């Protein structure tokens, strides 16, 4: 390898550590040693430091031993003119630089708490571009995408492209390949993120184009994301740096694109990234490190043309990307799912309460379906003016020997995601509350309503081809025809809901496993029954059944529940045997219906976490979106970090939002009448179902008896309210008997 690149990296690391120590001393003088030091709303302290060194940085004084460690890691400056093996020294220097920069960014949060905008997406009107460290809500939501394959990796782009047009082309190429793009550092007075804004590209977590910060030190937020993935999803213990680095090399497919002149501090960061197996691919002529070793292939590759940098980066990282080709004239991929079509950019709008809109997937006879046929009955986009509204009915007919009625709603639910993957097309809701917006830019590229049908035909075949043979799509925009379809669809919806509602755990002999999350919680085994939806909220019993039909060797396997050992708690011999096998002996018995006695294991993807409140003789639950304190003394992020690694934790259990109002929810502990607290936002979201469940259990006003943060966030605060309203939990037998 080149002596020059090692020299630059080591010199840059010395610069970074020196600056960090200077900032630290000034902060100590100004704020004192007990000044809290953190990345807001994260459970992993300063995640790179915590994962590599095992040091919990909670206050300013805790950073001092970290900086001392940085100085020890720095190697001697390179002076010899003869060949020496520089790679080890360069890696140590890079690690020192990364650790020091994390201290710098934490101090920035103290000195300028409004510098970073704490949200998923920037507020451009307020001039808030930079998002800083991802909080745990974002981490949990986005991290799962690196497990299920919907996000195969991420590119960290340092610097800026020669112009906004090239920046846009690079970003959209990565989006088409479903990669995230993390952006930091400036070049020539601008940044890659600002170039995208100038080019009219939406940035933020929702489009996978994430602007971390304007300085090179913001690269630690990308590495912090990767390290938190290892700890949260991979079961890596803090301080186990070797296992952490190997996990990232083998599981988190990331790389760096250095755009523009590379200075010594950039070189130090590139050297730091190599520790994790993340190579650097640059557009300028910098010294290369071509021999393999730490990274899968080359460590540093230079002089890559802009129209080749995406493909070259993916090749060098050893990333295998499956690109789904869909016959539409706009870019297509999961990265566009969060894109919004603003009011002024709308060419055509359908539904959303403004016009009738309905979606329906149904089985048809084989001889009645012409595979690939897409019809538009009524005016298409070319027949209307910009800003128009049309009624819409999207009717998909599928036929096949293995197709069943139970699969209809599963396919139907995919319409939301699949249509949203088209750039310039926005889809919200489903069934008869769907809302479509098609942007002017998409129409200019030739997008029509017919392309919605082409998307559904192509993707249904690609994703669900195992369960059907033919698919045709009819898109109605004629108002009279749409109004005919609305009651037809609503009748089908009602029948479906009644069909799944009518299923019970007692009358179903086969449940289904879900071990998708074992890649990050090795002992977690989710078992899904008709009355216990998967804790992530994404899978119910029918979904798992369909998934098994589609992929018989996949994560959703049939589980014969076998002999019932405890009907009250929900314990079956066959389920226990499967859980013990699937957890490799770590878990021997779980109860479906209890939070107190051997509850099911929890992974980091749960929508909610329930916990026992002994003083109130009941339970609380908190959803992922709620950021505040709860009566059990922990926020959601702390709860998830504590029990979310695939553990059986008596008194705590992860669950789905829908599960709260299923009849078997913690029935072994007394059921829904034990619910004494939940965030107001969650209660309002499920209010109608809570009312129905309250009526079923003989407490019609139960929904109004459940405390929220408005009554308090400690047991002492909410107990008087529960006593005042006469909450049924207070008169039940002790929950911890």
What are the residues facing 389 on neighbouring strands? 349
Instruction: Return the DSSP state at 530.
Output: T
Q: Which part of the chain is CATH 3.40.1470.10?
A: 510-731
User: In the CATH scheme, what is the code of domain 510-731?
Assistant: 3.40.1470.10
The tokens describing 425, both together, are 């097309």
How many other CB atoms sit within 10 Å of the CB of residue 30?
11
pLDDT digits (tens, 9 = 90+) for 330-346: 999 888 877 889 889 99
Rounded mean pLDDT of 515-536? 84
The predicted pLDDT at position 520 comes to: 61
Of 154, 161, 331, the C-alpha closest to 258 is: 161
Q: Which part of the chain is CATH 3.30.1650.10?
A: 334-501
How high is the mean pLDDT of the chain?
91
The predicted pLDDT at position 594 comes to: 97
The predicted pLDDT at position 22 comes to: 97
Residue 705 has pLDDT above 90, yes or no: yes
| HEC readout, 604-634 | CCCCEEEEEEHHHCEEEEEECCCCCCCCCCC
The predicted pLDDT at position 538 comes to: 67
Query: Mapping DSSP to helix (H, G, I), strand (E, B) and coil, where does residue 396 land?
Result: strand
Residue 441 has pLDDT above 90, yes or no: yes
pLDDT digits (tens, 9 = 90+) for 602-658: 987 788 999 999 999 999 999 988 989 999 999 998 998 888 888 899 999 999 888
Class of the CATH domain delimited by 334-501: alpha beta
pLDDT digits (tens, 9 = 90+) for 213-222: 999 999 999 9
Rounded mean pLDDT of 94-109? 97
Q: Which part of the chain is CATH 3.40.50.2030?
A: 1-323
Query: Mapping DSSP to helix (H, G, I), strand (E, B) and coil, where does residue 387 land?
Result: coil
Q: In what order do the strands lie in the sheet with 300-301?
A: 209-213, 180-184, 153-159, 253-259, 280-282, 300-301
Rounded mean pLDDT of 521-543? 86
Q: Which residues contact 541 (CB under 8 A, 6 or more apart)?
A: 500, 503, 508, 511, 512, 528, 529, 530, 533
User: In the CATH scheme, what is the code of domain 1-323?
Assistant: 3.40.50.2030
The predicted pLDDT at position 322 comes to: 57
The predicted pLDDT at position 81 comes to: 54
Of 240, 268, 247, 252, the C-alpha closest to 104 is: 268
Run of H or E residues at 427: strand 425-428
**Rounded-to-integer distance, Cα 295 and Cα 565, Å:** 51
**Rounded-to-integer distance, Cα 489 and Cα 295, Å:** 54
The predicted pLDDT at position 7 comes to: 84
The crossing angle, in degrees rounded to 10, of helices 3-31 and 63-73 is 160
- Sign of the four-CA dihedral 237, 239, 245, 248: positive
């Amino acid at each position: 390898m080149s002596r020059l690149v090692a020299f630059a990296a080591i010199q840059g690391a010395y610069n970074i550590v020196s600056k960090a120590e200077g900032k630290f001393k000034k902060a100590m003088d100004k704020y004192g040693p007990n000044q809290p030091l953190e990345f807001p709303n994260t459970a992993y302290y300063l995640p790179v430091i915590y994962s590599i060194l095992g040091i919990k940085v909670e206050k300013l004084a805790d950073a001092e031993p970290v900086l001392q460690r940085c100085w020890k890691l720095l190697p001697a400056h390179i002076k010899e003119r003869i060949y020496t093996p520089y790679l080890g020294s360069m890696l140590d220097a890079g690690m020192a630089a990364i650790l020091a920069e994390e201290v710098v960014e934490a101090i920035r949060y103290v000195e300028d708490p409004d510098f970073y905008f704490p949200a998923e997406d920037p507020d451009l009107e307020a001039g808030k571009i930079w998002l800083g460290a991802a909080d745990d809500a974002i981490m949990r939501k986005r991290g799962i995408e690196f497990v299920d394959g919907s996000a195969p990796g991420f590119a960290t782009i340092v610097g800026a492209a020669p112009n906004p047009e090239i920046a846009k082309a690079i970003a959209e190429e990565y989006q088409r390949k479903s990669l995230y793009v993390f952006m930091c550092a400036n070049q020539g007075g601008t940044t890659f993120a600002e170039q995208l804004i100038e080019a009219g590209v939406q940035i933020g977590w929702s489009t996978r184009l994430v602007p971390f910060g304007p300085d090179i030190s913001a690269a630690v937020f990308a590495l912090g994301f990767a390290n938190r993935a290892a700890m949260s999803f991979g079961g890596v213990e803090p301080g186990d740096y070797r296992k952490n680095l190997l996990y990232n090399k083998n599981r988190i497919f990331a790389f760096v694109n250095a755009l523009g002149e590379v200075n010594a501090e950039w070189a130090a960061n590139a050297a730091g990234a190599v520790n994790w197996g993340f190579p650097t691919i640059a557009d300028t002529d910098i010294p290369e490190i071509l021999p393999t070793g730490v990274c899968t292939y080359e460590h540093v590759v230079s002089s890559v043309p802009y129209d080749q940098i995406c493909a070259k980066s993916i090749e060098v990282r050893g990333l295998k990307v499956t690109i789904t080709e869909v016959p539409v004239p706009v870019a297509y991929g999961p990265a566009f799912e969060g894109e919004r079509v603003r009011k002024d950019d709308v060419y055509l709008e359908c539904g959303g309460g403004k016009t009738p809109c309905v979606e329906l997937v149904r089985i048809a006879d084989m001889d009645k379906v012409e595979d690939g046929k897409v019809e538009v009955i009524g005016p298409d986009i070319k027949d209307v003016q910009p800003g128009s509204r049309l009624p819409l009915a999207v009717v998909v007919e599928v036929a096949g020997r293995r197709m069943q009625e139970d699969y209809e709603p599963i396919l139907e639910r995919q319409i939301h995601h699949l249509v949203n993957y088209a750039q310039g097309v926005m889809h919200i809701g489903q069934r008869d509350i769907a809302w479509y917006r098609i942007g002017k830019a998409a129409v200019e590229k030739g997008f029509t309503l017919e392309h919605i049908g082409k998307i559904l035909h192509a993707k249904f075949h690609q994703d669900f081809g195992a369960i059907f043979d033919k698919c045709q799509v009819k898109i109605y925009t004629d108002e009279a025809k749409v109004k005919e379809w609305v009651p037809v669809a609503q009748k089908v919806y009602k029948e479906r809901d009644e069909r799944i509602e009518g299923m019970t755990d007692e009358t179903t002999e086969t449940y289904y496993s879900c071990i998708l999350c074992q890649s990050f919680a090795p002992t977690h085994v989710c078992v899904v029954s008709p009355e216990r939806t998967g804790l992530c909220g994404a899978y119910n019993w029918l979904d798992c059944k369909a998934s098994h039909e589609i992929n018989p060797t996949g994560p959703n396997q049939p589980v014969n529940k076998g002999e019932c050992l405890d009907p009250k708690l929900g314990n079956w011999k066959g389920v226990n045997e499967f859980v013990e096998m699937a957890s490799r002996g770590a878990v021997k018995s779980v109860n479906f219906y209890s939070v107190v006695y051997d509850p099911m294991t929890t992974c980091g993807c749960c929508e909610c976490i329930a916990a026992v409140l002994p003083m109130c003789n009941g339970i609380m639950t908190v959803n992922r979106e709620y950021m505040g304190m709860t009566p059990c003394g922990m926020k959601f992020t702390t709860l998830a970090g504590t029990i979310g690694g695939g553990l059986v934790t008596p008194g705590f259990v992860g669950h789905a939002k829908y599960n709260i109002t299923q009849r078997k929810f913690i029935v072994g502990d007394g059921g829904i009448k034990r619910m004494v607290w939940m965030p107001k936002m969650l209660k309002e979201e499920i209010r109608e179902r809570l009312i129905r469940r309250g009526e079923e259990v003989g407490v019609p006003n139960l929904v109004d008896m459940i405390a929220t943060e408005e009554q308090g966030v400690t047991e002492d605060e909410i107990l008087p309210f529960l006593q005042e309203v006469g909450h049924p939990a207070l008169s039940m037998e002790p929950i911890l008997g």
